[in-house]
């Protein structure tokens, strides 16, 4: 068995684990990142694509923002569509200059992997049988196999950045963890298409047939979503069914509709809200999807993960530099507060924009009234804007 030691063992090479590794590197702290999938899988996995202002600022500040600067699409506003009309919300004007940037999560991951490789610090893909031990003791350990060789990694702290289905959260004794969960009675069918965006900004639409979202990845690639059933079979959605449905749900009276193109990827995204509290047990700290899941309507998942690791990176730096443990002691409380704020916003966006199964037409009329209020009140638009662009990391 090969035995190694590091200061912080990071489980998971998604955006959370990779960004944490980079932050620690900048603070001169050793880490080892252990990921159970291959590098290709991690890079090619199609995920979200909206970066809050705070995420963009962080990427720039830590020196991984060059390609984001060149290729990211800065959006100062967003459209909300209902009753055949698109309404513009100028987020930049409403928030004193903050905006979002469209840049695929897999591009973020690619940039962070490049940065990690350039540091020469360990990043292990394809690790088998990853398990964490002694998380409530002084010397926690991560066990795994690399190319059939058993590895024991001893460390001061473990960062559980291994997503919702990872092994870190389940390592915490059940009695020490409170979880809150809500499943939604619908899912999203998402596509990537080789088609230029016909709108310069995202369009969130409530239609009688259900929610639809127009988004993009680049000047040549669009990303679109349709509300569908939770048990939807993707095989029932050939391309010539998807486009008419998207157009029906998105088309507005002024003739705007998405441009069609060849579909290069299709998938179903479940919708779930989940919170685990606290985000720390002993020397194990949870960050990102390992600790919380938001439905994608508010585009908060990736950004919450970035806010977590920014907090954790700063707290670990203060611990190693000054022996100051206050950041670590408050890591969970501060994170839980931000998480619930994002949960509230994501739940609100989701319930305002999706067709529920309810046969009672009251709900649809209430949603229209909510949207009507939103687009006619500066206060309501400001509330959406400041949550959507995101608050300062703290």
Q: Which is nearer to ligand PHB, 21 or 54 (CB)?
A: 54
Cα dist from 304 to 181, 198, 393, 394, whole Å: 17, 29, 9, 11
Residue 289 in contact with ligand APR, rule: CB under 6 A: yes
Q: Which does 20 bind (CB under 5 to 8 A by kind): ligand PHB, ligand APR, none?
A: none
Would you put residue 391 in left (φ > 0), alpha (ψ -120 to 50) or beta?
A: beta
Q: Are 214 and 258 in contact (CB under 8 A)?
A: yes
Residue 21 in contact with ligand APR, rule: CB under 6 A: no
Residues 25, 87, 207, 223: which binds ligand PHB (CB under 6 A)? 223
Residue 130 in contact with ligand APR, rule: CB under 6 A: yes
Q: Are 250 and 258 in contact (CB under 8 A)?
A: yes
Residue 296 known to be catalytic: yes
Neighbours of 318 (CB within 10 A): 16
Residue 75 known to be catalytic: yes
Residue 185 known to be catalytic: no
What gap in Å lies between CA 275 and CA 140, rounded to an integer? 24
Q: Which is nearer to ligand PHB, 205 or 215 (CB)?
A: 215
Residues 48, 189, 275, 384: which binds ligand PHB (CB under 6 A)? 48
Residue 319 known to be catalytic: no
Q: Which does 162 bind (CB under 5 to 8 A by kind): ligand PHB, ligand APR, none?
A: ligand APR
**Which residue has the closest beta carbon to ligand PHB?**
215
What gap in Å lies between CA 351 and CA 346, rounded to an integer? 9
Q: Which is nearer to ligand PHB, 34 or 191 (CB)?
A: 191
Q: Which does 276 bind (CB under 5 to 8 A by kind): ligand APR, ligand PHB, none?
A: none
Q: Are 332 and 282 in contact (CB under 8 A)?
A: no
Residues 6, 14, 52, 140: which binds ligand APR (CB under 6 A)? 14
- For the record, the structure tokens of 208 come out as 């009688």
Does the bond joining 217 to the residue before it have cis omega, within 30 degrees of 0? no
Residue 297 in contact with ligand PHB, rule: CB under 6 A: yes
Cα dist from 325 to 316, 318, 319, 322, whole Å: 8, 7, 5, 9
Residues 163, 296, 335, 390: which binds ligand PHB (CB under 6 A)? 296
What gap in Å lies between CA 307 and CA 292, rounded to an integer? 12
Q: Out of 103, 184, 204, 225, which one is annotated catalytic?
A: 204
Active site residues: 75, 204, 296, 300, 388
Residues that bind ligand APR (CB under 6 A): 11-17, 34-37, 42, 47-48, 105, 127, 130, 161-163, 166-167, 288-289, 301-302, 305
């Amino acid at each position: 068995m090969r035995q190694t030691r590091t200061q912080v063992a990071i489980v998971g090479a998604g955006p959370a684990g990779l960004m944490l590794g980079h932050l620690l590197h900048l603070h001169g702290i050793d880490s080892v990142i252990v990921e159970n999938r291959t590098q290709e899988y991690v890079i090619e996995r199609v995920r979200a694509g909206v970066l809050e202002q705070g995420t963009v600022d962080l990427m720039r500040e830590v020196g991984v923002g060059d390609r984001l600067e060149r290729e990211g699409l800065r959006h100062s506003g967003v459209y909300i569509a209902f009753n055949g009309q698109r309404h513009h919300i100028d987020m930049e004007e409403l928030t004193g200059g903050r905006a979002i940037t469209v840049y695929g999560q897999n591009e973020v991951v690619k940039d962070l992997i490049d940065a990690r490789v350039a540091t020469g610090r360990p990043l292990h893909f394809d690790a088998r049988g990853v398990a964490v031990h002694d998380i409530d003791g002084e010397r926690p350990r991560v066990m795994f196999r690399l190319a059939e060789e058993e590895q024991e990694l001893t460390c001061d702290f473990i960062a559980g950045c291994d997503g919702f289905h990872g092994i870190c959260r389940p390592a915490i004794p059940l009695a020490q963890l409170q979880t809150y969960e809500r499943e939604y009675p619908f899912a999203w069918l998402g596509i990537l298409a080789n088609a230029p965006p016909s709108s310069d900004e995202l369009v969130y639409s409530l239609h009688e047939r259900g929610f639809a979202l127009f988004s993009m990845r680049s000047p040549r690639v669009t990303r679109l979503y349709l509300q569908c059933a939770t048990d939807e079979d993707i095989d029932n959605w050939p391309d010539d069914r998807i486009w008419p449905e998207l157009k029906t749900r998105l088309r507005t009276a002024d003739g705007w509709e998405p441009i069609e193109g060849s579909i290069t990827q299709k998938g179903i995204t479940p919708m779930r809200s989940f919170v685990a509290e606290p985000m720390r047990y002993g020397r194990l700290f949870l960050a990102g999807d390992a600790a919380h899941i938001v439905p994608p309507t508010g585009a908060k998942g990736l950004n919450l993960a970035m806010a977590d690791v920014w907090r954790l990176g700063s707290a670990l730096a203060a611990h190693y530099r000054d022996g100051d443990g206050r950041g670590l002691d408050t890591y969970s409380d501060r994170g839980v507060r931000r998480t619930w704020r994002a949960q509230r916003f994501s739940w609100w966006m989701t319930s305002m924009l999706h067709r529920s199964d309810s046969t009672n037409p009251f709900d649809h009329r209430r949603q229209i009234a909510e949207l009507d209020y939103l687009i006619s009140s500066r206060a309501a638009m400001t509330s959406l804007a400041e949550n959507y662009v995101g608050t300062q990391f703290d």
